[in-house]
Amino acid sequence: METVSCDVLIVGSGGAGLCAARAAAKAGADVLIAGKGKINRSGATLLAGADVSADIACAGEDLCKLGLRGNPDDTRESWYSDIVHEGFFLNDRDMVQLFVDTAGERVGDLVEAGVKLHNLEIGEREIGAAGHDILNTLWKAVRGCGNVRMREDITLCDLLTAKGRVCGALLLDINGGALVRVDAGAVVLATGGAHNCYTFTSGPSDLCGEGIAAALRAGARLVNMEMVTHCPGVMFAPQKHRGSILPYVFQCLNAGVDLNGAREPYLHKHLSPAMVRLALGSEWNKLLLCYAAYMEREATGGDEYGGLIYRVGMPGTPERAALEQKIPHLRQGNFGAMMDTHDQNGGLCVFPAAHYFDGGIQVNARMETTLQGLFAAGECTGGLFGANRVSAATTEMMVEGARAGLSAALFATQAGRGCCDQASMEAATQGVRAPVGREGGLTATAAKQAVKEAVSRHGGIVRTREGLEAGLRALDEIDLENIGVGKTGRYPGEWLDYLEARAMHTCGRSILRASLLREESRGVFIRGDCLFTDDDNWLRNVVEGPCGLETVPVAQGRIASPGGKRDYFDYLEGMLSKLSYYEG
């Protein structure tokens, strides 16, 4: 077996992985990045903000210090308070502090590295740039470091350990079809969310939760896996455009109207006037529009494709001209084709899709997991945004990536390169090779479909005890040990499917189990059978570790909940009035 050695192994090559690599390399570490796809063309970063404009946030005062336009009266403290309110008090406060304190530096790094700023979403505390440009800019910065090696098309099978310390990983080189052992001083997981646990997602096919699942198998903890943000305006049909969040960009610009299958407005049926205003005027629209869309399709069914409609101005109208001025490439390529379907069908066929994982691997503000030698950054982690992220996932990946890379480099310098126990290596290898050549009754691709089906149906926008229990039974019926994988060799698709099915099954089970335990609704998490937010009993994280599930109180710090239990929507409205940007 090929064996590679490095100080810091970084698994994942999106924004978090690249920022971690750069920070670790700057701290003097010899770094290896392992990307599941092409380094600057995979992960969720590529299509952030539909690749039109992803918001990159820091406190307005920090934007001004960078010489950029921002609100000089917007302080870090004000941003901290907003993030904790937006997160419904579940945020890890130390992580929020790190976030608001270092976001300005990271944004400065990105601007200095040459990212092209987009003028679409300039706000009081954010600037905008295209997803692919953010990724390319970070990639170029990493290539400028001398001590970073990169491997592409290589996927994580398992973490390797020695006496409880993580000291490497077993990878599968996809094109070669061969296992690769990496011995490392420290490992940073930057593998993104588990989007593909869901049938309908805005994420690329790479995101199957491999890092989250491997961390749990190795003995690390997961936090708040029940918190999954859906994005309301995602192309549902035609299939060619499925998954694009362009309609969401329109929703953020409040450029059109939300209609049901009969082309009638529906938001007012499910949201109060104050909430409709908020849904149409801020990034809170995600949570509110998803809820309304879900309720509307339950009540009236969808259009001919099973989705709902988002309609902007037709060609020739001033509304359309204004939109095309804001997004100039709306007439070209894929966007042009999408707008053609819009004009033919009287709107875009949209529905909410699984979009962002608020929960994930538990880390502290140094991005240390509960396992020695294991660090994590970006969307595969949980805690920073609590029960709801309103904006700034691109800032999250930069802040957490940079911190994780530094922590990992310092750890590796002190601990030296590791060498895993033979037992760990054997367990990892056997786990990966188990289905190969087995006469199985189940194909890996069928197992993946079954996981998606169970998680989508029962772990979506509105969940209930009954549904979650049914979903868990459905997952239990998927017997991964009954999966057979035929030929391996180069590009072993079935084997890859097995690895993905295994990760998705683990993550899906975590999502459903955590959802069942949390008997309330909070932020993006809505239990239809518990439509209240309960601060007396549920200012707690759901944590899954080697010993199972537990709930752990969240230290409240200086921005604390007053306590009490209230109707979910009343609570939401009350929360809004606490935000610095609330206009009543």
Instruction: List interacting residues with other proteins (CB under 8 A).
Output: 35-38, 41-42, 46-47, 51, 132, 153, 155, 174-175, 204-206, 237-244, 305, 333-334, 341, 443-446, 449, 486-487, 489-491, 493-494, 496-497
Residue 206's identity, in one-letter code, is D
- Closest to other proteins by CB, 474 vs 496, is 496
User: What is the per-residue DSSP string for 373-386?
Assistant: TEEE-GGGEESTTT
For residue 327, what are the CA distances in angstroms to 5, 168, 311, 323, 410?
Answer: 46, 45, 16, 6, 44
Tell me the closest approach of the beta carbon of residue 482 to other proteins, in angstroms: 14
Nearer to other proteins, 304 or 481 (CB): 304
To 10 degrees, the CA torsion angle through 262, 265, 268, 270?
40
Give every CB contact of residue 79 below 8 A, 6+ residues apart in sequence: 57, 58, 59, 100, 125, 580
- 21 or 279: whose CB is closer to other proteins? 21
- Rounded to whole angstroms, the Cα distance separating 307 from 296 reads 10
Q: What are phi and psi of 553, to 5 degrees?
A: -60, 145
Q: Closer to other proteins at the Cβ: 22 or 241?
A: 241
Two structure tokens written together for 250: 């329109």
Measured from the CB atom, is 297 or 403 closer to other proteins? 297
Are 196 and 207 contacting, i.e. CB atoms less than 8 angstroms apart?
Answer: yes
Q: How far is the CB of 102 from other proteins (least distance, A)?
A: 29
Question: 211 or 418: whose CB is closer to other proteins?
Answer: 211
* Contact between residue 559 and residue 81 where contact means Cβ atoms under 8 Å apart: yes
Tell me whether residue 313 or residue 486 sits nearer to other proteins (CB atom): 486
**Is the separation of the CB atoms in 405 and 20 below 8 Å?**
yes
- The answer to whether 290 touches 352, Cβ cutoff 8 Å, is yes
Spatial distance between the Cα atoms of 210 and 218, rounded to a whole number of angstroms: 12
- If the CB atoms of residues 41 and 438 are measured against other proteins, the closer one turns out to be 41
- 12 vs 70 by CB, closer to other proteins: 12
C-alpha torsion 242→135→82→64, nearest 10: -130
| Residue that the structure tokens 């772990």 belong to | 459
CB of 500 to other proteins, least distance (A): 8
Side-chain-side CA neighbours of residue 87 (13 Å): 31
Dig out the tokens for 411 from the structure: 């750890």
Residue with smaller CB distance to other proteins, 51 or 62: 51
The distance of closest approach from Cβ of residue 294 to other proteins in the complex, given in angstroms and rounded to an integer, is 22
- Angstrom distance (rounded) from CA 373 to CA 464: 38
Exposure class string for 542-569: b at 16+ Cβ within 10 A, else e: bbbeeeeeeeeebeeeebebeeeeeebb
The secondary structure element, H or E, covering residue 233 is strand 228-237
Among residues 403 and 452, whose Cβ is nearest to other proteins?
Answer: 452
